Amino acid sequence: MSEACTSRELMIYTISRLLKGVRHVAVGQSSPMPAAGAMLLRAINQRDGLEHVQVSILGSVKHNSFTGGAEELFDCAAQGRLDAFFLGGGQIDGQGNVNLVGTGDYPNNPVRWPGSFGSAYLYFLVPRVILFREEHSLRSLVERVDFVSAPGVTDETVYRRGGPHALLTNAALFSFEREAGRFRLESTHPGHDWRDIRGTTGFAYDNEQCEATTPSPDEATLALIRGRIREELRECYPQFAGNMPGPC
Amino acid sequence: MTEFVTPQKMAEMIPSGCKLGLAPDDYGASPRLVRMLIDRGIRDLHVVCAPIGGMQVDMLIGAGAVATLETSAVSLGEAGGAPCFSRAVRDGSIRLRDATCPAVFAGLTAAEKGVPFMPIRGIIGSDVLEKRDDWKVTSNPFDDGEQIVVVSAIQPDIALFHAPEADRFGNVRLGRRREVMLLAHASKKAFVTVERISDVSLLEDEKMAAGVLPAIYVSAVAQLQNGGWPTGLYAEYPRDGQEIEKYARAARSPEGFLAYVRDSRSAA
């Protein structure tokens, strides 16, 4: 019997489930778990003889076929050649707005994060943007972000075919209802229940009293994460891969 | 056409107050040359990150060399946030022009093509747009019903980056890193540090030529082995994660930053 599935492995597996059906998924810099989730979907599809998934990991030489430089990702997105992407966010609010800049007033934010990266653009153009934020707390999931790096919803005068698809934390999974501009609780991870989630989420959302539990990977999938995926991650994320459980 | 100079000479050729375009860590960053800029006391730079900054930008900020910072992000990657950048934001000691990566590329593309602006999707409704007086929302001239952002051209005075190889004619091999090519095309001058200098023209091999920045754009080349260290150089060597961690820890305080810069100078 192998070591039980860790919280990070559950999130990696959940990301692979959220990506089901995509043809091309890209993963930004400093995103080891989204990278692992995308690699896992590719590996599962390959194993099961399903359709090929193109995975573009920014920062990778091996897992990135772009030859047009960093602009090519954005051009791909604008043309509809990219189905899924990930955004983090120091703060995420109930309307799906994302803040990657900092807390308090701009420009002299008392807490400053790296910056908006490609979010203000990709959020409009990539159909399935998965919001991924490990920390599930009142400080990360807020009623209203202090700075909008990328807005969750837009009026009809602006071209938009992309936006938030789901929000995944270390405690729960939400979907995003674009029409309503609100999140819906889909499941809580093992060890959490809907009351915990209500208490640690700073915004209003639908299906508050959700009883569903986020499914864990089976033994074969867990073995894939601990073997092939861990090795594939090593190129870009040596520290992260080194801290993952290895093959038994 | 292209001058071949020592790294020290190249550092002297970059004046205080210029608009300096820099490539990201691991993709053409030239931190060793940047260290020489710091050592010679460069000031008042307008730094354009194409499109993001890392350790070399954080060091420039920590050294008080940056007046204006145009960037989509500054981060040390796996080593976490950029400490001098965060401090400078809090103190208000740099003028910030927050961007989003494709808008930087659009601005550079406008400069490359010699046009005043470039339209770009998205961005509307973000505070990034609200804070930029050089970006505007306009109607699509072909469809009045659609609003679209235009960003003004970005033309750095000097682009500084590190590359694997130049030839003795001043051509520089960039391979797949086309965003560095874009930065060079958009800038008035490109200064390039390289790992090695080839006697044979890089344009002779048709298989390689499309990944070569021609000497037309290259004002100066300096050979500087390991010039990307402690960040990496794409497809050549990985970043030195331990050294960047060491920097990240040291730079948490202004004193620690100064000590790091002092000690790493003596080691160089």
Shortest distance, CA A66 to any CA of chain B (angstroms): 8
Quote the pTM value: 0.95
Residues of A in contact with B129 (CB under 8 A): 120
Contact B90 A108 (CB under 8 A): yes
Ranges of residues in chain A with a pLDDT under 70 are 1, 248
b/e map B11-48, b = 16+ CB within 10 Å:
bebbeeebbbbbbbbbbbbbbbbbbbbbeeebeebbbb
Q: What is the ipTM of this complex?
A: 0.95
Does the pLDDT value for residue B120 go beyond 50?
Answer: yes
pLDDT at B78: 83
pLDDT at B234: 92
Chain B nearest-CA residue for A69:
B178
pLDDT at B265: 67
Chain A nearest-CA residue for B239:
A236
Name the percent of chain B lying above pLDDT 90.
95
Tell me the per-residue pLDDT of B189-238, one tens digit each, with 9 for 90 and over: 999 999 999 999 999 999 999 999 999 999 999 999 999 999 999 989 99
